[in-house]
């Protein structure tokens, strides 16, 4: 990488230690990076550590990682409550809840805390315009989207999404980080809600929800149809459960808000399930039941 191509990243921050945030932290640690995960409080930070440790243990059991490498990776990740320790980070990935106000506040705070003006502030948003988050800072030229896919250790794709303000060196720093350091494949997208993957995927998932809602077919038959008839590795409703029905609804709302096209509108059944707390795999019940624990 030439000197003009951005900064070589060694110190990474991850804001949010949920399923995706923990996965991002894991792949960073496995790549040998000094990784810091920030959560809202000590309890959430402890839960994030358990997610990373459990994922590494699964990789060892499945023969994808040796024990020493797993222990080494875990030793590279620190967990903290609050954002104050992000001051020395060279790249920070925000992976908090898919809520515009919450993400905007995180970027305002990171702008004040992260000391290096060349540091990249990235969002893992699925659907919120990057420009909106960048404009909450005084460094919109160093804000961009890095959208990882769940489960992060297993899925090789990252969407890189610059805004109209993002500087070339920030883009190159982020692309080098994702490709050379993490071994991911990067696709670039313009800064529009849904980017590439969700703009195509979400209407498909919502169509499956509408089919179940209408009684046209059961959730099991809809999923079996796409798995066995179209060779999809997972049916649309089981995939929606994996993503999280609350996350799917939030992405759909954002897409509909930007494009006002009916195919992006969240169906009433999806809204009711979210209101009922039936969020999919993470809650133990969605379109399918799941064993917890």
Residues forming the active site: 126, 147, 159, 198
CB 165 within 8 A of CB 140: yes
Tokens encoding 201: 């995927």
Alpha-carbon gap, residue 196 to 242, rounded angstroms: 19
- For CA atoms 265, 267, 271, 277, the dihedral sign is negative
Instruction: Please give the full DSSP string across 168-220, using - where no structure is assigned.
Output: HHHHHHHHHIIIIIT--EEEE--SSTTTTHHHHHHHHHHHHHHHHHHTSS-HH
Reference 9, options 30, 31, 38, 24; nearest CA is 31
Buried b (16+ CB within 10 A) or exposed e, 250-265: bbbbbbbebeeeeebb
Locate 156 and state its tokens: 């090789």
Residues in the chain: 293
Q: Distance between terminal CA atoms of the chain?
A: 45
Question: Which of 107, 104, 103, 90 lies closest to 35 in space, CA to CA?
Answer: 90
The answer to whether 160 touches 174, Cβ cutoff 8 Å, is yes
Tokens of 204: 């498909």
* Residue entry with tokens 């066995």: 228
Closest alpha carbon to 190 in 134, 249, 131: 131
> Within its chain, how far is the Cα of 191 from the centroid?
16
């Amino acid at each position: 990488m030439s000197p003009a191509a951005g900064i070589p990243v060694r110190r990474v921050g991850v804001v949010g230690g949920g399923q995706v945030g923990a996965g991002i932290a894991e792949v960073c640690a496995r790549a040998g990076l000094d990784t810091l995960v920030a959560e809202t409080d000590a309890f959430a930070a402890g839960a994030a550590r358990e997610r990373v440790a459990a994922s590494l243990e699964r990789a060892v059991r499945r023969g994808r990682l040796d024990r020493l490498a797993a222990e080494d990776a875990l030793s590279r990740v620190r967990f903290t409550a609050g954002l104050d320790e992000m001051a020395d980070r060279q790249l920070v990935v925000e992976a908090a809840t898919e809520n515009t106000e919450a993400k905007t506040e995180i970027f305002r705070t990171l702008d004040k805390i992260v000391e290096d003006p060349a540091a990249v502030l990235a969002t893992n948003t699925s659907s919120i315009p990057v420009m909106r988050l960048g404009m909450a800072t005084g460094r919109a030229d160093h804000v961009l989207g890095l959208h990882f896919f769940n489960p992060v250790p297993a899925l090789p794709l990252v969407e890189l999404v610059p805004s109209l303000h993002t500087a070339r060196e920030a883009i190159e720093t982020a692309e080098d980080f994702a490709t050379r350091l993490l071994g991911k494949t990067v696709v670039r997208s313009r800064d529009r809600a849904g980017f590439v993957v969700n703009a195509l995927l979400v209407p498909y998932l919502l169509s499956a929800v509408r089919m179940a809602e209408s009684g046209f077919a059961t959730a099991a038959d809809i999923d079996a149809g796409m798995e066995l008839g179209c060779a999809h590795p997972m049916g649309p409703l089981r995939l929606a459960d994996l993503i999280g029905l609350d996350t799917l609804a939030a992405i759909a709302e954002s897409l509909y808000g930007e494009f006002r096209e009916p195919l992006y509108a969240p169906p009433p059944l999806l809204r009711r399930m979210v209101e009922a707390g039936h969020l999919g795999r993470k809650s133990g019940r969605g379109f399918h039941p799941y064993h917890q624990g």
